[in-house]
Amino acid sequence: MLHQKQLAFIGGGAMAEALLKGLLTAKLVEPQQIMVCDVAQSRLDYLRHTYNVLTTVNGCDAAGQADIVFLTVKPQVIDDVLVTIAPVMTPAKVVISVAAGITIDRIEAKLGKAPIIRVMPNTPVAVGAGVSAFALGQNARPEHGELATLIFDAVGKAVAVDEKAMDAVTGLSGSGPAYTFLFIEALADAGVRVGLSRQTALLLAAQTILGAAKMVVETGEHPAKLRDAVTSPAGTTIAGLHVLEQKGVRGTVIDAVVAATERSREMGQLHGK
């Protein structure tokens, strides 16, 4: 699907690097099919030397030569970017935006009939283990959904959603890595508290979270069923779970996701959502 397609990344930050690295690693494209545009020449030099991709400081040139245009810039500069590339956009070009809080309608208003795909990836795309929710614009067709799935499966998993769910996605999977890092840190601190070295405790904690998540994804079982399989009568696990339930950990996590979702909505409104 990406054979002989030219890709342009408008913005060469961490997300752009994670995506182009994933595409190259999966051998979906060759380096000469990718052009990155950024205002920082030092960043372009790094990407060119590291991945052998093409680079430019001219966003209009990059978008003009591309079949697929990635908007990998901060939301506060998105309007300037859209104005810059609008003259070279056509209905034949596909636009994939990862600009947080920027709606499809807002992009379509500037770029006309081009098919728009809005994506909310999370930071583990940097290690090929992210999850990315995407929504299609009114000019997009089913094959554009297949394109988004192909691209974002290269850096983890892709999930199609209605655009109205994007704030919830942000609150759960967008912010979720931070919640998980906090839990890993807490597990490691607990390990140190009961006598483990810091290095050993951190490794045990991180690998435990990784393994548990992999079991959920690969078995397809409900987490409660997997939890029950670990929980022996009058054993150690139920003693620990009892404390977590007493302290309201489940409700606290739910409240955190709700708060992050509400904040995402607020930020969208601030950016002209």
15 belongs to an annotated ligand binding site: yes
Helix (H) or strand (E) holding 14: helix 14-25
The structural architecture, per CATH, of the domain 7-166 is 3-Layer(aba) Sandwich (3.40)
Cα(166)–Cα(100) distance, integer angstroms: 9
Q: Beta strands 54-56 and 68-71: pairing type?
A: unpaired
Please write the tens of the pLDDT for every residue from 82-135.
999 999 999 999 999 999 889 999 999 999 899 999 999 999 998 999 999 999
The confidence band for 169, taking pLDDT boundaries of 50, 70 and 90, is very high
pLDDT of residue 272: 57
pLDDT of residue 145: 97
| φ and ψ of 57, to 5 deg | -100, 0
Q: What pLDDT was estimated at residue 268?
A: 74
Coil vs helix vs strand at 203 = helix
Q: What does the pLDDT look like over 25-35, one tens digit per residue?
A: 999 999 999 99
Pick the CATH number of 174-268 from 1.10.3730.10, 3.40.50.2020, 1.10.3720.10, 2.60.120.330: 1.10.3730.10
Q: What tokens does 126 get?
A: 């940097």
- Mean pLDDT (whole number) for 168-190: 97
Residue 240 labeled ligand binder: no
Is 12 labelled a binding residue? yes
pLDDT at 258 over 60: yes
State the DSSP code for 138.
T
Residue range 234-255: average pLDDT? 97
The CA angle 119-102-3, to the nearest 5 degrees, is 35
Side-chain-side CA neighbours of residue 250 (13 Å): 7
What average pLDDT does range 230-249 have in this prediction? 97
For a pLDDT cut of 70, what percent of the chain falls above it? 99
Domain ranges of the chain: 7-166, 174-268
Residue 151 labeled ligand binder: no
Q: Is 25 exposed, middle or buried (0-12, 13-18, 19+ CB in 10 A)?
A: exposed
For 205-233, what is each residue's pLDDT tens digit?
999 999 999 999 999 999 999 999 999 99
Report d(CA 118, CA 218) in Å as an integer.
Answer: 27
User: Annotation-wise, does 14 bind a ligand?
Assistant: yes
Same fold, 7-166 and 174-268: no
Ligand-binding site membership of 13 (annotated): yes
